[in-house]
Structure 1
């Protein structure tokens, strides 16, 4: 089912439009080197193969897993002879290029720099860490995205109908299609592998349903609609389990969402909100952990990022809890919405503008650093909310120490 031309490639529209580097490589035979970076099953090898099919260039594929420098140099020498004697260009495709060490990648540099070959490297690892800088600087970096649900459905439906696939010998129940899309997780190769395994279970002309698919791939179907009740119910139970410090239940709901194909970025965003809403200053590091997990999701992606998400879930579940932060900001917002704003006290206004000094702006302001402890009695809030206490720290975890600190600060500010 590998596409035979660029028009058959599913997904990656941002790389295949008019004027894009791959289009130039194919349509104009422009010598060009590029690194394709993306998760498994998103079309890196497919794009390289399509280039070989639709151009007159000689195509050579090298696997960094099984081939070494000797093979690389031999292919480069052959490419130079082809270019010099017949004028025929060579596309050198190196799969899993990140598995080449520095010396092996160095062997590619002369061929890339002198354009003896059009180099295409494919990697699932971040090329800024796994590909040497000289090679990366001489190549265009193209990022492939995981296939969306609609893209996967198109791949699956083509395979069902096309003679190169199942050729109509099996049907697919809509519920089974939904489950197959979730199982694939943006990986077209995995979708086709699971579909083929399920087709072997049914007779010719039979229909693959959820039961057949479950048996074929040994993965139970998680009843989960990402836009329906299950989505909201599960995420609600997930957050309430963390809030209630039930780490085991929270991990169950995390696993349920991951297995059902929930967007991991959505999970990470909820963790970030929860870190401030329900943990807050009781453990200020909870927010750092949640943000780090969200960054890991972007950098690493699933399935590896499940570990980072789980770490954040465990941290937040076991952390002391406090909702003082959300109560504080919502209390302040409530007063502002009621119209309790007032004028900024004159001594706090900006005194640098033209004429500001004549109006008394900034006059009488006490510079906190000039006073013991960095705190000095003066009014900061406007009159309508003078004396309001929005932040009321709890006695939970690290927040307990802020209770005493805040009491001392407020007593100095108010001269009590």
Structure 2
């Protein structure tokens, strides 16, 4: 390593220095990478196929890709999804074909934030992924079903990574604290236990965030070598736009649960706290829209309209006066009857789709079917909407508000 490399190494962020190099250093994701698990076996046996890693930020997607690059006997190419062009991708695929033909060496193409890749570029990947010319590893924080074109997603295995638990965050932070080669161990820094607990809690599973806060606290030390809770809190006060010592996620959790519990004054208090602390009003508005369906739902379908109007009003009039439509939507949701039947129904349907084979569309409701009869015009017609051997019971109406009429209809009351 020359002087230039040493200078670069010193200026690398702590989170990057502590990136795991093998499975022994990799924390979390035991459901995928524990000993004997399918994905780990595929990696260790150098038998991986194209895959997409989806999950929250800082759960180890990029780190896992780097471990794969070290564990497999393949050429490893990293591409930028945002600026990637069809020409650049074709050049990469052409080189991969050449390496495979001349040297029998596979090429792994890693595409971080693959959801940002244009659809025409995604289409260019299809033949090479299907033929095995390249092994593609995509990483995304977004939903594969919504952001990746279906033909590409269907040719990849999808692995979902989970956010790290608090104890896992603590282990990694302590390793960074004591590691002399890559961490802060050479300086004999101490971290108070309550500061460690706070770091693990407020980072909400984001290890990059926790290590970033630790590094900032470390560089702010003067002569002392002890990182206290007070110092860590000051670090987060800067990051969270003056939310003081309160975690933004906890505020949002309190807000959501107050709306769900029909506690109007409490919900307004948490709304005011978040607005005063600088939380993005559009972020709040999106949560209100979600809970107008999740918690009110069919008991008062107008709640969704109110919530959407509030979101649009905030975008139109800005953050300051936007507090008014937000407050109105919050009061409306709090005072509405509640039902989570729609939330339960779609989750049940998604689970069924995930765990059962795909159902064929019955002939009488296929596009252009000659045997279809509109039930509005032919109320006594007997149409098949799902195969006869499939019994579905996702939607279970609740006896609440507007939905009580549906409840009585379903249960003959």
Per the TM superposition, whether the score is higher than 0.5 is yes
SS of 1:93's partner is: strand
Hey, what's the Cα distance between the residues in 1 that align with 2:338 and 2:145? 42
Structure 1 residues 280, 107: closer, same or farther in 2, change over 3 A? closer
Alignment equivalent of 1:156, drawn from 164, 169, 173: 173
Aligned to 2:57: 40
When normalised by structure 1's length, the TM-score is 0.60
CA deviations 1:65-120 (Å, max 9, x no partner) are: 23322222112111111111111111110111111112101111122111112110
Aligned to 2:245: 222
Of structures 1 and 2, the larger Rg is shown by 1
Alignment equivalent of 1:251, drawn from 252, 256, 271: 271
Alignment equivalent of 1:208, drawn from 221, 227, 246: 227
How is 1:56-205 mapped onto 2 (pairs within 5 angstroms)? 56-163=73-180, 164-167=182-185, 169=187, 170-203=189-222
1:171–1:205 CA contact under 8 A, matched in 2: no
2:255–2:267 CA contact under 8 A, matched in 1: no
Aligned to 2:46: 29
2:268–2:330 CA contact under 8 A, matched in 1: no
Structure 1 residues 324, 2: closer, same or farther in 2, change over 3 A? closer
When normalised by structure 2's length, the TM-score is 0.60
RMSD across aligned C-alpha pairs, in angstroms?
4.4
Structure 1 residues 205, 79: closer, same or farther in 2, change over 3 A? farther
SS of 2:159's partner is: strand
1:238–1:249 CA contact under 8 A, matched in 2: no
1:179–1:221 CA contact under 8 A, matched in 2: no
2:262–2:334 CA contact under 8 A, matched in 1: no
Alignment equivalent of 1:54, drawn from 59, 65, 71: 71
Hey, what's the Cα distance between the residues in 2 that align with 1:108 and 1:324? 46
Hey, what's the Cα distance between the residues in 2 that align with 1:35 and 1:57? 18
Hey, what's the Cα distance between the residues in 2 that align with 1:2 and 1:311? 44
Shift of 1:311: 9.5
Hey, what's the Cα distance between the residues in 2 that align with 1:101 and 1:144? 24
Aligned to 2:331: 317
Shift of 1:125: 1.2
Hey, what's the Cα distance between the residues in 1 that align with 2:24 and 2:325? 42
- The number of residue pairs the alignment matches comes to 298
Hey, what's the Cα distance between the residues in 1 that align with 2:163 and 2:184? 24
Structure 1 residues 312, 126: closer, same or farther in 2, change over 3 A? farther
2:58–2:208 CA contact under 8 A, matched in 1: yes
Structure 1 residues 154, 255: closer, same or farther in 2, change over 3 A? farther
Hey, what's the Cα distance between the residues in 1 that align with 2:184 and 2:335? 55
Shift of 1:199: 0.8
How is 1:314-393 mapped onto 2 (pairs within 5 angstroms)? 315-318=329-332, 321=335
2:112–2:139 CA contact under 8 A, matched in 1: yes
Structure 1 residues 28, 171: closer, same or farther in 2, change over 3 A? same
| Structure 2: gaps spanning 5 or more residues | 1-17, 309-323, 340-398, 406-412
1:179–1:210 CA contact under 8 A, matched in 2: yes
Hey, what's the Cα distance between the residues in 2 that align with 1:204 and 1:162? 21
Structure 1 residues 280, 136: closer, same or farther in 2, change over 3 A? closer
Structure 1 residues 244, 34: closer, same or farther in 2, change over 3 A? closer
| Structure 1: gaps spanning 5 or more residues | 293-309, 326-390, 406-412
Shift of 1:203: 4.0
